[in-house]
Chain A
């Protein structure tokens, strides 16, 4: 990687010196480009993807704040804010800080991780169906969690650890099985499909052998739920995202170069194989952490990048916008799931597809660029 890290600091091309300065320019395809340059580092931001990210994050924050006020014990937004800054009443303290805040944060972080991981997978595979749900990590976590629930009768903390172990184990197994002088994304997905089938069949075998109430508990977990998520879910997620998001962005700088073909990319200083397998590994880790925290919430990883790509347009991978949209989708879904049949709280996984699918279908029907794949 050392060779590629220095790539952006290469001397600027002499023919267009103005484009290197900080400011807003117009790219050849007509889109606005924001450039930030400080010392040896420079960043090139697509104005439209910045806008999409900002709007999605703004909406996510609004929904998040609103979700803190709603519940069996309604609070005003003022109460919530006062409690958050430490000026609130004692009883509000417990409701906001212990019950609602960690749940909402888990939702934001899981949504962002899934959106980001999905965008990476779809981009590398160039296949809109190559979501992490398909390559077995979620299913490995699910099989392990159902095993803990049904056979061991474990507590919810034990289920979380079981799921994490399952996700990491399956992720490692897929990478090892697909490894053959480097990781080919295609081989990884096909191996993942086979592993998915095995894990799914373990899950359904365990479900048919279980007592019905354990089976129901397992089904709730399998749907993906944010119920009763506490700070011990938020902390590992925060650490993981803080490490993995910069890793993705660092590696993703080379994605556009990879489009030119592996040989050209190598000539330009990007090692295609390493970038690709590095990205796959990081995306796998993102999925593993988020599945362990919230269960295999379906569809976010598939739909967030699709929506992101369509809103941002162009050939952009839309990694950060996808993460923002994933976070928005998940907190909004959780809000609906909590309130729609209140006081019963549905698992969030039920709602993600109900909210996300129609929007994707509308975007598909209105698509003005035919055949824009993943």
Chain B
């Protein structure tokens, strides 16, 4: 790493960024540009991380982001929140059963006991809240995970959250005959917590503590191990497979208010922890050596950020099952919009991810009436083409 960071702290870069944030007094530690090859992908020798399509940006020239100034980023964020609100309203208004908008509106304020009111109050509202929470959690967790491991391919599940939760649910079905969604929640959460603690512990062994590469590899290895144990159980027990495959698809359907209420505190706590870690992530993205020199306690910072990921992603997975793609891709979109500053990436991810998730969920209910398609399926089909277009149009190579 050592040879790569010298250009990062060139005064021109820092000044430019400070100007762009509209904060002339911002100190170098947070405003310095985590330059385009920010990860130098995960500890690689200081050669080109890419095919050379993203040459290091000359100091002083604004980088290619969609919204360059602080004001436009804030304005854009407000607009994104408005879009999210519209999507949330749609999620309440539209569903497998067409209900007139007036009835939906009435149902929100009082309950006349009719079928339509029940649908809106007991099914659609909790589902929408769940979608908001799960989406926000996954988006934030993904952004933090990519920052902590300095790896653009790290998804929130890389700490073993998904695999741990899945194994716990499989064992719950197999050994304890748990078959309700409410019953899975705490197993999944416990499994997620245990697995990620184990990953962190294993990744911290040896010299140098928890380095990004060791964390990513330990996570990948342990996840694969846990997943193998799950599939061994599933292959030997058809009945468990029959139950489990529905959890595996990842869905917001059928999650009652109790699940929403049970996981909400974790999501909220995780969001607060996540947003507080933005400045540290900026510093960590300069590399461990620089971060340490700037006074960050690297191991502590990494541990707390990872804890936020576990809380967020664990709660989301427990509530809705494994939903891929959102956590991995939304941070890339956020980065394309607002550049490499985590103080912007985190809020943008927080807003964009639930927009994608809720939009996909609503679409899944409308296109397959009277049935519905799982949100995980639609998310990929709506999000992937958009993401590919983005990858082709812009140089996303900036992590």
| A interface residues with partner B (beta carbon < 8 Å) | 125-130, 134, 177-178, 180, 182-187, 189-191, 193-195, 197-198, 200-202, 204-205, 207-208, 212-213, 215-216, 219-220, 223, 258-263, 272-273, 276, 298-299, 302-303, 306, 315, 341, 344, 346-347, 349-354, 356-358, 360-361, 364-368, 370-374
CB distance A365 to B236 under 8 Å? no
The number of chain B residues touching the other chain, given as a range, is 35 or more
Cross-chain contact B396 with A190 (CB below 8 angstroms): yes
- Given known contacts A127-B153, A193-B329, A198-B381, is B388 in contact with A373 (CB within 8 Å)? no
In the assembled complex, how far is the CB of residue A101 from the closest CB belonging to chain B, in whole angstroms? 25
Task: Tell whether B367 is near chain A: CB-to-CB under 8 Å.
Answer: no
Indicate if the CB atoms of A204 and B41 lie closer than 8 Å: no
| Interchain CB contact under 8 A, A128 and B332 | no
Known contacts A129-B151, A205-B373, A272-B51: A223-B42 contact under CB 8 Å: no
User: Is the CB–CB distance between A190 and B384 below 8 Å?
Assistant: no
A356 vs B216: C-alpha distance when bound (angstroms): 16
Interface string of B189-210 (1 = CB under 8 A from A): 0000000000000110111100
CB neighbours of B93 from chain A (8 A): none
Residue B359 at the chain A interface, CB threshold 8 Å: no
List the B residue with the shortest CB-CB distance to A184: B51
**B202–A126 CB distance below 8 A:** no
- A selection of 22 A-B contacts at a CB cut-off of 8 Å is A129-B220, A186-B49, A186-B51, A187-B391, A187-B397, A189-B153, A190-B332, A194-B383, A194-B385, A201-B376, A208-B246, A212-B238, A216-B235, A259-B45, A261-B48, A262-B51, A298-B227, A346-B232, A350-B228, A367-B207, A371-B213, A372-B43
B232 touches A350 (CB 8 A): yes
Task: For A216, list chain B residues within 8 Å (CB).
Answer: 235, 238, 241
State the CA gap A190–B153 with chains docked (Å): 8
Q: Given A186-B152, A302-B220, output 11 extra A-B contacts at Cβ < 8 Å.
A: A129-B216, A183-B51, A186-B51, A187-B391, A200-B324, A204-B377, A212-B242, A213-B238, A347-B235, A371-B43, A373-B43
A191 to chain B: which residues have CB within 8 Å? Answer: 388, 391-392
Q: List residues of B whose CB falls within 8 A of some A CB.
A: 1, 41-45, 47-54, 151-154, 158, 202-203, 205-208, 211-214, 216-218, 220-222, 224-225, 227-229, 231-232, 234-236, 238, 241-242, 245-246, 248-250, 324-325, 328-329, 332, 373-374, 376-381, 383-385, 387-388, 391-392, 396-397
A185–B42 Cα distance when bound, in Å, is 15
Contact B384 A194 (CB under 8 A): yes
A205 to B375, CA, bound (A): 10
Contact between A197 and B374, CB atoms less than 8 A apart = no
Known: A190-B332, A223-B231. A129 touches B153 (CB 8 A): yes
A127 adjacent to B249 (CB under 8 Å): no
- Whole-angstrom distance between the alpha carbons of A201 and B238 in the complex? 21
Contact A361 B221 (CB under 8 A): yes
CB pair B391–A190 under 8 Å, yes or no, is yes
Option from A193, A213, A373 in Cβ contact (under 8 Å) with B44 = A373
Smallest CB–CB gap between B138 and chain A, Å?
Answer: 13
Are A194 and B387 in contact, with the CB atoms below 8 A? yes
Most A CB contacts (10 A, CB to CB) among B47, B208, B216, B248 go to B47
Q: Hey, which chain B residues are within 8 Å of A364, CB to CB?
A: 202-203, 205-206, 214, 217-218, 221
Contacts of B241 in A (CB 8 A): 212, 215-216, 219
* Contact call B235/A204, Cβ cutoff below 8 A: no
Task: Evaluate contact between B221 and A357: CB separation under 8 angstroms.
Answer: yes
> A262 contacts which of B43, B52, B222, B232 (Cβ < 8 Å)?
B52
Chain B residue with minimal CB distance to A128?
A: B217
- A371 contacts across to B, CB distance below 8 A: 1, 42-43, 208, 211-213
Known: A128-B213, A205-B373, A212-B238. A366 touches B50 (CB 8 A): no
Q: Which chain A residues lie closer than 8 Å to B325 at the CB level? A: 193-194, 197, 201
User: Which residues on A sit within 8 Å (CB–CB) of B235?
Assistant: 216, 219-220, 223, 346-347, 350
Decide yes or no: A197 and B384 within 8 Å by CB, A302-B220, A349-B228, A365-B202 being known contacts.
Answer: yes
- Report which of B48, B328, B385 forms a contact with A193, defined as CB distance below 8 A: B328
**Chain A residue, CB-CB nearest to B399:** A186
4 interchain residue pairs of minimum CB distance = A371-B43, A365-B205, A353-B224, A197-B325
* Set of chain B residues within 8 Å of A177, measured between Cβ atoms: 388, 392
A373–B213 touching, CB < 8 Å: yes
A357 touches B214 (CB 8 A): no
State A201–B325 Cα separation when bound (angstroms): 10
In the complex, which residues of chain B have a beta carbon less than 8 angstroms from the beta carbon of A347?
Answer: 231, 235
Which B residue's beta carbon lies closest to that of A180? B392
Q: Which residues on the B side are within 8 Å of A186 (C-beta)?
A: 49-51, 53-54, 152, 396-397
